[in-house]
C-alpha cells in the first residue's frame, strides 16, 4: 500500500528522476537510491494493456523495497484497462501512479497514447478519473507544452485546467512541444526548443496546482533555482549519464546532513544486491550497464568502463573481479 499520505505529495517530491525507456529499470533505481534517499523514482513506461493481459505480472510490477518512494508510469487510453492496472499498482505497493501523455515515439502514437493524447483531453480526463476512482494513490500526469501545430498557450492552459478537474494531483510538464511527424524520440528531446517561460506562465495562472517542470536540467543548482518558480523539478538524461553529478541532492534539495557517497562506495554497497541477482540467474550486464556511468572524469576512467563492459557482455564478470576493480577506484580516492 501507499507509503505516504496524499496531502504530503508537495513536500516530498521536490526532485524526481524521469521515467526513461531502457534506463530506469529496477537496477538503475537501486543505484539512484545509493545517491539519494529522497528523490522520487519512476518505472519505465508500462503499457497498461500489456500488464493487464500478461500472465507474468511480476515482470512489469516488480521492484525492491529500498526503491520507495516510487511512482509507476502507465501508458494507455482505455479507462477500463487503466482501472485494472491501478488496482494492481496499489496492491503491489507503489506510492504513486503517473499517466504518460508526453512520449512522442511512433509506436506509442500509433496506439493512441502518449503525446498524441494531448489532442484528446476528453479521453485523458476519463483515464485520470478511472485511475483516481480505482485506488487511493496520488495520480499524476506527465505531458508536453503542445503537440505539432497544436501548441498555443491557450490550449495548454485549457488542457491542464480540464485534467485538473478530472482529479490529477500533479502536472509534470516537459517544457518542449512534441513533433510527432518528422522527428524521432531522441530528436524530440533536443530539437524542439525549451520554453521554460511557457511553464512559468502556466504556474503563475494556476498557483493552486502542483506543477513540476522537466527538460534540460543538468545540474543541482539549476534545479534549485527552478524550485523558486515550480513545485518540483524532474531530471532525465543528465542523471542517467552523469549520476554522481547529482550526488548532493539530499543535502542541497532536502537539507539532509550526510556524507556524499563516492563511486566506489556506491558499488561496494551494491555488491550484495548484485550477488543475489547473479544467484537468481540474472546477468551481470543487467546492472553493470548502469554502473559504468558512475566512473567519469578521473584518470583511466575509460579503461575502467571498458573492463567492466567487456567482462559483463562476455558473461565473464564475477564478484571477485568487480571487487578488485572497485578497490582500485577506492585507492585512487574515488
Residue showing cell 532536502:
254
Q: How far apart, in Å, are the Cα atoms of 268 and each of 91, 261, 334?
A: 32, 11, 12
For residue 199, give the DSSP letter: H
Residue showing cell 556524507:
259
Three-state SS string over 20-64 comes to CCCCCCHHHHHHHHHHCCCCEEECCCEEHHHHHHCCCHHHHHCCC
Q: Is 288 a catalytic residue?
A: no
Q: Cα torsion for 81, 104, 212, 221, to the nearest 10°?
A: 140
Q: Contact 42/75 with Cβ under 8 angstroms?
A: no
Task: Specify the 3-state DSSP secondary structure of 284.
Answer: helix
Cα 301 from Cα 294, distance rounded (Å): 10
Characterise 98 by phi-psi region: left (phi > 0), alpha (psi -120 to 50), beta (else).
Answer: beta
Cα 174 from Cα 181, distance rounded (Å): 18
Cα 6 from Cα 138, distance rounded (Å): 6
- Greatest alpha-carbon pair distance for the chain in Å reads 59
Q: Contact 69/4 with Cβ under 8 angstroms?
A: yes
For residue 142, give the DSSP letter: E
The single residue of 23, 103, 135, 288 carrying the catalytic annotation is 103
Angle 102-77-180 from CA coordinates, rounded to 5° = 40
Known catalytic residues are 103
Amino acid at each position: 500500500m501507499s507509503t505516504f499520505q496524499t496531502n504530503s505529495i508537495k513536500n516530498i517530491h521536490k526532485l524526481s528522476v524521469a521515467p526513461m525507456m531502457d534506463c530506469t529499470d529496477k537496477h538503475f533505481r537501486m543505484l539512484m537510491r545509493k545517491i539519494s534517499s529522497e528523490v522520487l523514482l519512476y518505472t519505465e513506461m508500462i503499457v497498461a494493456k500489456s500488464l493487464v493481459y500478461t500472465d507474468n505480472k511480476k515482470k512489469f510490477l516488480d521492484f525492491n523495497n529500498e526503491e520507495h518512494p516510487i511512482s509507476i508510469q502507465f501508458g494507455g487510453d482505455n479507462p477500463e484497462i487503466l482501472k485494472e492496472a491501478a488496482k494492481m499498482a496499489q496492491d503491489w505497493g507503489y506510492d504513486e501512479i503517473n499517466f504518460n501523455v508526453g512520449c512522442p515515439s511512433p509506436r506509442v502514437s500509433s496506439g493512441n497514447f502518449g503525446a498524441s493524447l494531448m489532442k484528446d483531453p476528453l479521453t485523458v480526463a476519463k483515464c485520470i478519473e478511472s485511475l483516481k476512482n480505482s485506488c487511493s494513490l496520488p495520480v499524476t500526469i506527465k505531458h508536453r507544452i503542445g503537440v505539432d501545430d497544436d501548441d498555443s498557450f491557450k490550449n495548454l492552459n485549457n488542457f491542464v485546467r480540464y485534467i485538473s478537474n478530472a482529479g490529477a494531483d500533479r502536472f509534470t510538464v516537459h517544457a518542449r512541444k512534441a513533433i510527432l511527424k518528422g522527428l524521432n524520440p531522441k530528436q524530440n528531446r533536443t530539437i524542439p526548443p525549451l520554453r521554460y517561460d511557457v511553464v512559468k506562465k502556466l504556474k503563475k495562472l494556476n498557483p493552486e496546482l502542483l506543477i513540476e517542470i522537466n527538460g534540460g536540467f543538468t545540474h543541482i543548482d539549476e534545479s534549485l533555482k527552478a524550485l523558486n518558480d515550480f513545485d518540483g523539478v524532474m531530471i532525465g538524461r543528465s542523471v542517467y549519464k552523469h549520476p554522481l553529478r547529482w550526488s548532493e541532492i539530499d543535502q542541497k534539495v532536502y537539507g539532509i546532513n550526510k556524507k556524499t557517497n563516492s563511486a566506489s562506495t556506491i558499488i561496494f554497497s551494491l555488491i550484495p544486491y548484485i550477488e543475489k541477482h547473479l544467484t537468481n540467474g540474472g546477468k551481470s550486464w543487467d546492472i553493470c550497464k548502469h554502473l559504468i556511468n558512475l566512473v567519469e572524469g578521473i584518470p583511466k576512467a575509460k579503461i575502467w568502463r571498458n573492463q567492466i563492459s567487456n567482462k559483463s557482455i562476455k558473461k565473464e564478470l564475477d564478484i571477485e573481479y568487480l571487487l578488485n576493480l572497485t578497490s582500485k577506484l577506492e585507492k585512487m580516492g574515488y
